Amino acid sequence: MSALLEAWADADGAARARRLFAATFGAEPTGVWAAPGRVNIVGEHTDYNDGLCLPIALPHRTFVALRPRPDRTVRLVSAQEPGVREVDLDTLGPAGTAGEVAGWPAYAAGVAWALEREGLAAAGSVPGFDAAVDSCVPAGAGLSSSAALECAVAVALDDVAGLRLGGDDAGRARLADACVRAENEVAGAPTGGMDQAAALRAQAGHALLLDCRDGAVRQVPLDLAAAGLTLLVIDTRAPHRLVDGQYGRRRRVCEDAAGALGVPSLRSAADAVESGQTTPGAVLALLDDDEQRKRVRHVVSEIGRVRSLVARLAQHPGAQLEGSALDTVASGLDASHESLRRDYEVSCPELDLAVETARAHGARGARMTGGGFGGSAIALVDSGDARHVAAAVDRAFAEAHFDAPAFLSAIPAAPAGPVRA
């Protein structure tokens, strides 16, 4: 079967990035910085509804060796992409304008552009730079390799340009805003703020409770290793389907439903249910459109699931995550998948098969994670069972004539920062 994709040790990732830097630019970098990919434990399609989500930083990281330049040129090389690319920071602009940059350099150089636009650069501008990138975060698997790249560049520029934002959570929130802006405006990819918040603001041994209404975060203890558990991440490698417009349509239906309910966002409906002012049934009874009812049922119940999972984890941190507490967390994952499949209708045959097979072979709970229509699923498994569950999913995919999936095993890891190796 496919092996579990191992996370690189910091020393290994840093050495790879340094070697690529030296081979390409014929000099030593000033340093190496890294940022993680992420998976969301629960809270899917809640971000644009001002809701709650609960991502963790993966142990899999993107490494960037970087050295500032005396001019405004950015030269970029990546072990995952061909060639050396050059961007001029004085002409770089948003996607769809004359300054547009094609392809992956938009994510890296876009961060410099966004730091300046956000007014975060000390002297009004950041220097040009040479950078070499290498990564063990699978790209395009819904594990946010794009944010890992942006956030690694952001912490690197924070250091070399003396922005002093990386030292506390408030500063990291501002770096995250710049990375979101780089992805939205320069790369032209719509994204909420979850990926960048996880990469910059999560902590090892914790999940990050992110309130998408105001960007507030809370560290929620999730010491899976102490509990003898791990998250098996299953990259389904499902072929890209014709799902254009589905994301936009979900957003629109949610906005319309909030309008019909007379609230600013569906978060308000979830809060009213949470505080006992109303019930889910009473909320749904106010809507006469069937599509709206299904989407609202998912969003309101999903925000509730984030809350109840967080409450459980707060009571049962570390090794105490066992017995009925573990059952509650696991069944929350299962319920989230069912809700995304039935009510939000964003799953696909590969995700359903991954989740069902993992459960049938001993996973405590499992769900699709990310936007859906492909990408990855997660299964909460006893640490010793990860390979066995992965092998079962691999077999099931072969029998269904699906492309072979890829696997990695994850516990909540550290956020972006310098690599001291």
Give residues with Cβ within 8 angstroms of 264, minimum separation 6.
Answer: 50, 258
Work out what residue 292 binds among ligand ADP, Mg ion, none; the CB cut-off runs from 5 to 8 Å by kind.
Answer: none
H or E segment to which residue 309 belongs: helix 290-315
Report, in Å, the least distance between residue 62 CB and ligand ADP. 5
- Considering the complex, state which of residue 137 and residue 379 has its C-beta at the smaller distance from Mg ion: 137
> Does position 49 bind Mg ion by CB under 5 A?
no
- Considering the complex, state which of residue 205 and residue 374 has its C-beta at the smaller distance from ligand ADP: 374
Work out what residue 78 binds among Mg ion, ligand ADP, none; the CB cut-off runs from 5 to 8 Å by kind.
Answer: ligand ADP
Site map for Mg ion, 105-144, x if CB under 5 A? ---------------------------------------x
Work out what residue 56 binds among ligand ADP, Mg ion, none; the CB cut-off runs from 5 to 8 Å by kind.
Answer: none
Are the beta carbons of 131 and 156 closer than 8 angstroms?
A: yes
- The dihedrals phi and psi of 412, each to the nearest 5 degrees, come to -60, 120
Work out what residue 80 binds among Mg ion, ligand ADP, none; the CB cut-off runs from 5 to 8 Å by kind.
Answer: ligand ADP
Report, in Å, the least distance between residue 385 CB and Mg ion. 29
Of 186, 46, 47, give the one whose Cα is nearest residue 111: 186
- Among residues 130, 159, 195, 394, the one annotated as catalytic is 195
Give the binding site for ligand ADP (CB under 6 A).
Answer: 62, 78, 80-81, 103-104, 107, 133, 135, 139-146, 149, 189
Q: What is the DSSP letter of 383?
A: G
- Considering the complex, state which of residue 135 and residue 146 has its C-beta at the smaller distance from Mg ion: 146
Task: List the alpha helices (DSSP H) in 262-289.
Answer: 266-274, 280-285
Quote the crossing angle between the two packed helices 194-201 and 145-160, to the nearest 10°: 50
Report, in Å, the least distance between residue 103 CB and ligand ADP. 6
Using CA atoms of 57, 59, 65, 70 in order, give the dihedral in degrees to the nearest 10.
10
**What are the DSSP E strand ranges found in 284-392?**
365-369, 376-382
385 among known catalytic residues: no
Report, in Å, the least distance between residue 252 CB and ligand ADP. 22
Binding to Mg ion, residues 145-174 (CB under 5 A) = 146
**What are the DSSP E strand ranges found in 2-43?**
31-40
CA dist 211 and 231 (Å) reads 23
Report, in Å, the least distance between residue 402 CB and ligand ADP. 19
Point out which residues bind Mg ion (CB under 5 A): 144, 146
Q: Which residues are catalytic?
A: 195
